[in-house]
Amino acid sequence: MGHSENNKIAFVGDYLPRKCGIATFTRDMQTSVASYDPAAECFVVSVNDRAEGYDYPPEVRFEIDEQDLDSYLRAADFLNFANTDVVCLQHEYGIYGGPAGSYILGLLRDLRMPIVTTFHTVLSEPDGDQRRVLMQLADLSARVVVMTGRARKFLRDIYGVDESKIDIIPHGIPDTPFAEPDPYKEQFGVEGRPVALTFGLLSPNKGIEHMLRAVPAILEEFPNFVYIVLGETHPALVRDQGERYRLGLERLARDLGIESNVIFYNRFVDLNQLTQFIRASDVYVTPYLNQAQITSGTLAYSFGCGKAIVSTPYWHAAELLADGLGVLVPFADSAALAAEIRGLLRDTPRRLAMCERAYGLGREMVWRRSAQQYMQSFQLARLVRQDRPFRPLAVRPLAEQQAELPVWRLDHLRRMTDSTGMFQHATFTVPRFTEGYCTDDNSRAFLLTVLLDELGQEEPGVLQLAITSAAFLQSAFDLGCKRFRNFMSFDRRWLERVGSEDCQGRALWAMGACVGRSRRSDLPAWAASHFKIALPPILEMSSPRAWAFGLLGVHEYLRRFSGDRECGQARDALTALLVGLYERTATPDWPWFEEILSYDNARLAHALIARGRDGGDPRALEIGLNALTWLVQIQRAPQGHFRAIGSNGFYRKGGEPARFDQQPIEANATVAACLEAYRATQDARWMSEARSAFEWFLGRNDLAQELYDPATGGCCDGLHEDRVSKNQGAESTLAFLLSLAEMNLLERSLAAFRHAR
């Protein structure tokens, strides 16, 4: 293929010196393609997982902030304006922002050149967002690349990708001469000893502890055996837990009495150093625990260097090491690891034959061969390119400009918060100290900080607000009775022994959201410990809203810990309580849970819709959608705008709905419930209903007056018959800010998922 056909090639993904397997792959691929065709101009668009970025080499020409969607759109402009011929995307869910890494779609949909996407992970059981992201990636790509036959089968059978656009290109490897290990052992101080090696970023799914437990049995036959563990702890694990995992491995080695036979090299090595380690080993071991690993760069490198390999049967290993090219052992089976490694060390002819076969087959995997195959894929991509219209980021349709959301302003939130927590009430914008604090509002504040964290908001003081509201909840919790107190005076005295049932539910919801969504390293562990203790009492309560808040909290908690049986059982019990209440009360003309519409109404439907969206309970989803459909009709004024059920009398069955005083929490609850309904159904009418409820804050209401105050960032307390309450209390301000956060989260998701026009 002539180099003139692909003059400018952009590689998008992580990049060294970021410590990540994808970063290493992107660097090696970029280098090999540039070497294969020196006339091609190869450059990189890198993704940063930290604000300060990295000290990149000159081939990195643009940097993306992982959690900033606009950054992806600016990258698309950069690539278009640079007249790039082909974009080669490295895809792994965890390296891009948004639900299931969906922000990368925002970049791809605006590109004017063909895209070739390498899928480093192809899941056999994706969740809804993961499936949707991969299918749209494949749709936007002219060619897609996988590294194994199994991955191609998954793309075809699970995701419906056209097989004609799939290329199999094995993971590239360095082209090194075949070498006996003994000459390379001296530099590591292991001359004359049999050596096994595992390398890569350390994390619990690598199963190294099982290999450590195999070492004593190996020493019975080979007393001078040494096991080298090469690699730093994964940076994400270090951020969350420090070096706890590595220290645990070192402690296990001491407890087993094998510390003189195990060497931990805590370093991230370059390719030349890595090759030296591989050459010095007699056996390479991958004791990984996750079967669903479709690609392993460490396995490919060792295989191509001609090593005898003992591995658990994760997908890549099962395919690469078939037909005696390596040895497969059961997962988490230390005895099998020991037996097979002893067998290979004992049977030198067998081991060397295995090494020679692997090395021979590995010549088809060297980076130059990979580069050649990628260049062929780039050429095919250009032949089938389909031009998509390009719209510069600065030029947006008028309809989109009109729908823009208010900018973030947290001034009043900070004004209403001191070192204890958030005050309940204000006179105009001045906090009323005499009325103190409550758990309800501090739970809402804590939930807001979780959503701001998910949005990547770095407003000053957000982290401090998270810590302050968490500390308030911790103080509110009475460990003896497992209940939250609600009201605290300004002089920090609790005014009750036990708070309301709703307060218990709101606190659970906020802590569950922290567990399921927060990117912080410390707060989720704190929230999980309190959540598990405070959950059981909710099942004994009688408040439907407490059940709904608790169910929303469990839903959020299970986003991270889906296998928690106790929480799964609580989810089912709370769902049954709400479903039973509906079935006992609802009639054709009153499809609701109670014979009154009072406060925070939409939360009851919201909780069941969220449960139904989890899967496994279509009845809950049906009831939630039916109830919400009726509620939004009741809350629609004849002029078409949102009209909340007024708190001055509410709405009893057989009566008339109170028109005033309309409260911000009703608009907030409706916004959140309608957005959940949209996520569950993809029905655009729910987005319209959410927008209608949100615009109530902005003046589309019975009095045509704004409740949100853009000058302060606060929200007025209610809509009266003749005026707007000018007091900007905690509940109303948080109702607006939570609604704004929910709308922003959906807008970002839509922007990421939107197909090219």
The mean pLDDT of 183-201, rounded to a whole number, is 90
* C-alpha span between 50 and 451 (Å, rounded): 19
Pairing of strands 308-311, 60-65: unpaired
pLDDT the model gives residue 394: 35
Residue 392: count other Cβ atoms within 10 Å of its Cβ: 12
Shortest CA distance to 425 belongs to which of 411, 438, 408? 438
* C-alpha span between 438 and 442 (Å, rounded): 6
For tokens 């180099």, the residue is 3
pLDDT band at 360 (very low <50, low <70, confident <90, very high): confident
What does residue 234 show for φ and ψ, rounded to 5 degrees? -55, 130
pLDDT band at 387 (very low <50, low <70, confident <90, very high): very low
Shortest CA distance to 706 belongs to which of 676, 726, 730, 682? 726
Give the pTM: 0.61
* C-alpha span between 75 and 11 (Å, rounded): 12
Which of 308-317, 323-332, 407-416, 440-449 is the most confident on average? 440-449
Structure tokens at 57: 């080499």
Judge whether residue 521 has pLDDT over 90. no
* C-alpha span between 452 and 744 (Å, rounded): 10
Domain ranges of the chain: 3-172+369-383, 182-362, 635-752
Judge whether residue 224 has pLDDT over 90. yes
Judge whether residue 9 has pLDDT over 60. yes
pLDDT band at 403 (very low <50, low <70, confident <90, very high): low
Query: In this predicted model, what pLDDT tens digit does every residue of 708-738 receive, in sequence order?
Result: 998 899 999 999 998 999 999 999 999 999 9
Residue 757's Cβ-count burial label (10 Å; 0-12, 13-18, 19+) is exposed
The mean pLDDT of 592-620, rounded to a whole number, is 94
Structure tokens at 518: 């927060």
Helix, strand, coil proportions of the chain in percent (round to 5)?
50, 15, 35
The CA dihedral of 429, 430, 431, 434, to the nearest 10 degrees, is -140
- Give the residue, 98 or 519, on which the prediction is more confident: 98
Homologous superfamily of 3-172+369-383:
Glycogen Phosphorylase B; (3.40.50.2000)
Question: What average pLDDT is seen over the chain?
Answer: 90
Question: How is 93-116 classified by DSSP, letter by letter?
Answer: GGGS-SGGGTHHHHHHTT--S-EE
* C-alpha span between 461 and 238 (Å, rounded): 25
pLDDT the model gives residue 756: 34
* C-alpha span between 625 and 683 (Å, rounded): 11
Judge whether residue 398 has pLDDT over 80. no
Structure tokens at 93: 């869910």
pLDDT band at 465 (very low <50, low <70, confident <90, very high): very high
- Give the residue, 183 or 554, on which the prediction is more confident: 554
The mean pLDDT of 226-243, rounded to a whole number, is 84
User: How far does CA 257 lie from the centroid of its chain?
Assistant: 40
The region of weakest confidence among 135-139, 258-262, 263-267, 748-752 is 748-752
Question: How is 197-247 classified by DSSP, letter by letter?
Answer: EEES-B-GGG-HHHHHHHHHHHHHH-TT-EEEEE-PBPHHHHHHHTTHHHH
Residue 95's Cβ-count burial label (10 Å; 0-12, 13-18, 19+) is buried
* C-alpha span between 73 and 698 (Å, rounded): 28
Shortest CA distance to 405 belongs to which of 644, 110, 739? 739
Continuous segment of H or E residues that includes residue 48: strand 41-48
For tokens 């809203």, the residue is 545
Structure tokens at 444: 């809402």
pLDDT band at 458 (very low <50, low <70, confident <90, very high): low
Name residues whose C-beta falls within 8 Å of residue 419's C-beta, 6 or more positions apart in sequence.
Answer: 468
Whether 182-362 and 3-172+369-383 are alike in CATH topology: the answer is yes
For tokens 């994760």, the residue is 314
pLDDT band at 505 (very low <50, low <70, confident <90, very high): very high
Angle at 623 between CA 617 and CA 625, to 5 degrees: 105
* C-alpha span between 698 and 588 (Å, rounded): 34
Continuous segment of H or E residues that includes residue 87: strand 86-91
Homologous superfamily of 182-362:
Glycogen Phosphorylase B; (3.40.50.2000)
Amino acid occupying residue 379: Q
The region of weakest confidence among 73-87, 143-157, 270-284, 600-614 is 270-284
Structure tokens at 677: 């309904």
* C-alpha span between 616 and 21 (Å, rounded): 36
SS3 assignment, position 377:
helix
pLDDT band at 1 (very low <50, low <70, confident <90, very high): very low
Judge whether residue 437 has pLDDT over 70. yes
* C-alpha span between 648 and 671 (Å, rounded): 22
Judge whether residue 171 has pLDDT over 60. yes
Query: In this predicted model, what pLDDT tens digit does every residue of 66-110 receive, in sequence order?
Result: 988 888 988 999 999 888 999 999 999 989 998 889 899 989 988
pLDDT band at 644 (very low <50, low <70, confident <90, very high): very high
Shortest CA distance to 84 belongs to which of 61, 112, 56, 59? 112
* C-alpha span between 475 and 419 (Å, rounded): 13
Query: In this predicted model, what pLDDT tens digit does every residue of 678-709 receive, in sequence order?
Result: 999 989 899 999 999 999 999 999 998 999 99
Pairing of strands 426-427, 430-431: antiparallel
The region of weakest confidence among 238-247, 511-520, 608-617 is 238-247
pLDDT band at 634 (very low <50, low <70, confident <90, very high): very high
Percent of the chain clearing pLDDT 90 (strictly above): 69
The region of weakest confidence among 323-327, 465-469, 539-543, 608-612 is 323-327
Name residues whose C-beta falls within 8 Å of residue 697's C-beta, 6 or more positions apart in sequence.
Answer: 664, 667, 706, 707, 708, 715, 736, 739
Residue 262: count other Cβ atoms within 10 Å of its Cβ: 22
Using an 8 Å Cβ cutoff, are 577 and 603 in contact?
A: no
pLDDT the model gives residue 488: 97
The region of weakest confidence among 278-287, 327-336, 457-466 is 457-466
Judge whether residue 393 has pLDDT over 50. no
Judge whether residue 560 has pLDDT over 90. no
- State the DSSP code for 275: H
* C-alpha span between 592 and 330 (Å, rounded): 53
